[in-house]
Amino acid sequence: MLNIFTMKLNKLVFVFCIGFSPGIALCQTSKQQAPVLITLDDDSKKLTLLKGEFFTLELKNHLDGGFVLNAPQFDPLILVLCKHSKKTPLNGPIGAPGIESWLFKALKRGKTKVKVTSSRPWMKKDSVQTFSNEIVIK
């Protein structure tokens, strides 16, 4: 009886671990493949990628008036978010903007918009569109 329980537990642990590993495997990059960089200068433009290519979205986070950047909105069947990071300025004047970056990978052919909004955390409905870009995967 204990043997059957142990087998089922091992199978459950295996399935649990496998459930998390595809996300890790999806985001592995080769050293030769540099991601395409898009910034606020690319707002309202179109980016065309091939399946498997990466791109990084970098935006300044000014925090003016208490606004913070919200998580990007996109179709998770077309893109996968591999990494999000925040860089605070080490030098410069007080209140200098930091940079937030998001690394995405193109999963399959299709189109999606990547939108980032800014909002004040204490105000639920006070949201401003900060960035929008159409991503086309071929």
Containing structural domain, residue 87: 30-137
Is 112 a member of any domain?
yes
Give pLDDT, residue 62: 73
Q: For 5-28, what is each residue's pLDDT tens digit? A: 444 444 443 333 334 444 556 787
- At 45, give phi and psi (nearest 5°): -105, 180
Tokens 């052919």 belong to residue: 109
Q: How many domains does the chain have?
A: 1
Residue 21 belongs to some domain of the structure: no
In 3-state terms the chain splits into helix, strand, coil percentages (rounded to 5) of 20, 40, 35
Gap between the Cα atoms of 29 and 15, Å rounded: 25
Phi, psi of 107 (to 5 degrees): -85, -45
The reply to whether 64 falls in a domain is yes
32: pLDDT confidence band, cut at 50, 70 and 90? Answer: low
Residues constituting the chain: 138
Looking at per-residue pLDDT, the higher value among 80 and 97 belongs to 80
Residue 71 belongs to domain with CATH number = 2.60.40.2020
Please provide the average confidence, as pLDDT, over all residues in the chain. Answer: 80
Decide which of 99 and 16 is more confident.
99
Q: What is the pTM of this model?
A: 0.75
Query: Are 53 and 106 in contact, with CB atoms under 8 Å apart?
Result: yes
Q: Which helix (H) or strand (E) holds 126?
A: none
Residue 101 forms part of a structural domain: yes
How does pLDDT run across 62-78, given as a tens digit for each residue? 766 778 889 999 999 99
Range with the largest mean pLDDT of 18-22, 25-29, 56-60, 128-132: 56-60
With tokens 């990547």, the residue in question is: 114
